[in-house]
Amino acid sequence: MLDTRPYLSETDFPTIRRKALELLQVNLGYRCNQRCQHCHVNAGPNRTEVMTRETLDQVLEYLVRSGAHTLDLTGGAPELNPHFRDTVRFARERGIRVIDRCNLTILSEPGQEDLARFLADQGVEVVASLPCYLEENVDGQRGRGVYQGSITGLRKLNALGYGQPDSGLLLNLVYNPTGPYLPPPQADLEADYKRELSERYGVKFNHLMTITNMPIARFGSTLLSRGQFDEYMVLLRDSHQDANLASVMCRNLLSVDWRGYVYDCDFNQMLHLPAGLEKHPLHITQLRRRTLEGAPIRVGEHCYGCTAGNGSSCGGALS
């Protein structure tokens, strides 16, 4: 696999600094039951990296001490971490909002048949990736049969109240472009998704989040192999909007990798770029005496992916 880091090492991206920490995003490991082309963590069935219970306890200790109100669990498929459910229970018992970055097909994997019910019982917010409402586009990006597996997962969640009015169980979908272009306006695409999924399958959800593909890891390597990397970077830079700088996710988010090391965002984590001006990544246990608010955020060429067009974050479009 081609390494995209040399192509992103120098940048004139604007200087930005942290606000108060609100969200702790924790990567529980790179193992996944899918292997998607756009995946920026190169997750897949053969990955063995997984966060241990000892590291998780350190992360949860920091979560409580930090005052962050949201725990965002990601992977890979975060549910494949053997301590996933204990982690969810710990946070929910303390009134902390929990987000599960779910690929939907995991809900039908052997041993996970009761996962949807667990998520509903715990009041977990599900953010589910579905890169298109058309079967051929999803299967082309994620593998044969993934689309129908995703629809099955959505129906399971709907049956438990997810996405239904006044249930309190939030089900948000995520759109990623299937190629080297920017997402369309989020509100317009959300209307298309809701119409098509309802008419075709009776599926309901709350909101659609559009996320720009980052030119790193698996997607970046694909761009390089096809000779499209430079063209895509020009698109991101030319589409930069200064207004998006105020809302980029790294201002109030801290990303934690499966070993417990912290980064300014999930993308910097995958590029091994230490937080702020640090020469080496800090471990979560080293943050006890550090103040994050006002600290500089490490930026690179890939950051233009967050400020291009309507903007992009783990919560969808910024404008």
* DSSP character string of 247-292: G-GGGTEEEE-TTSEEESSHHHHHTT--STT-SSPEEGGGGTT---
Contact status, residue 130 vs residue 163, Cβ threshold 8 Å? no
Q: Identify whether 170 is part of a domain.
A: yes
pLDDT at 39 over 60: no
In terms of Cβ atoms closer than 10 Å to its own Cβ (0-12, 13-18, 19+), residue 168 is exposed
* CATH code at position 106: 3.20.20.70
* Dihedral sign from CA coordinates of 291, 294, 295, 299: positive
Q: Identify whether 319 is part of a domain.
A: no
Give the pLDDT of residue 282. 94
Instruction: List pLDDT tens digits, range 286-299.
Output: 997 778 899 999 99
pTM of the model: 0.93
Instruction: List pLDDT tens digits, range 222-236.
Output: 899 999 999 999 999
Give the pLDDT of residue 5. 64
Section 249-275 average pLDDT:
94
Cis upstream peptide for 276 (omega within 30°)? no
Instruction: List pLDDT tens digits, range 107-139.
Output: 999 999 999 999 999 999 999 989 888 888 877
H or E segment and range at residue 56: helix 53-66
pLDDT at 36 over 60: no
Could you identify the residue written with the tokens 């207004």?
Answer: 243
What is the percent of the chain with per-residue pLDDT over 70, rounded to a whole number?
92
Give the pLDDT of residue 42. 60
Give the pLDDT of residue 161. 98
Write down the mean pLDDT value for the chain. Answer: 91
Q: Identify whether 30 is part of a domain.
A: yes
Q: CA-CA distance, 197 to 205, in Å (whole number)?
A: 9
Task: Find the DSSP H helices in 67-208.
Answer: 84-93, 115-122, 135-142, 146-159, 186-201
> What is the biggest distance separating any 2 CA atoms in the chain, rounded to whole angstroms?
54
Contact status, residue 36 vs residue 140, Cβ threshold 8 Å? no
Q: Identify whether 46 is part of a domain.
A: yes
Q: Identify whether 227 is part of a domain.
A: yes
- The closest alpha carbon to 192, from 103, 183, 161, 308, belongs to 183
Section 200-224 average pLDDT:
92
3-state SS, residue 240:
strand
3-state SS, residue 84:
helix
Q: Identify whether 97 is part of a domain.
A: yes
Looking at the 3D structure of the chain, how many domains does it have? Answer: 1
Q: Identify whether 218 is part of a domain.
A: yes
What is the percent of the chain with per-residue pLDDT over 90, rounded to a whole number?
74
Section 54-58 average pLDDT:
97
Q: Identify whether 271 is part of a domain.
A: yes
Contact status, residue 303 vs residue 273, Cβ threshold 8 Å? no
pLDDT at 1 over 60: no
pLDDT at 152 over 60: yes
Domain of 232, in residue numbers: 19-307
Instruction: List pLDDT tens digits, range 91-111.
Output: 999 999 999 999 999 999 999
Give the pLDDT of residue 124. 98
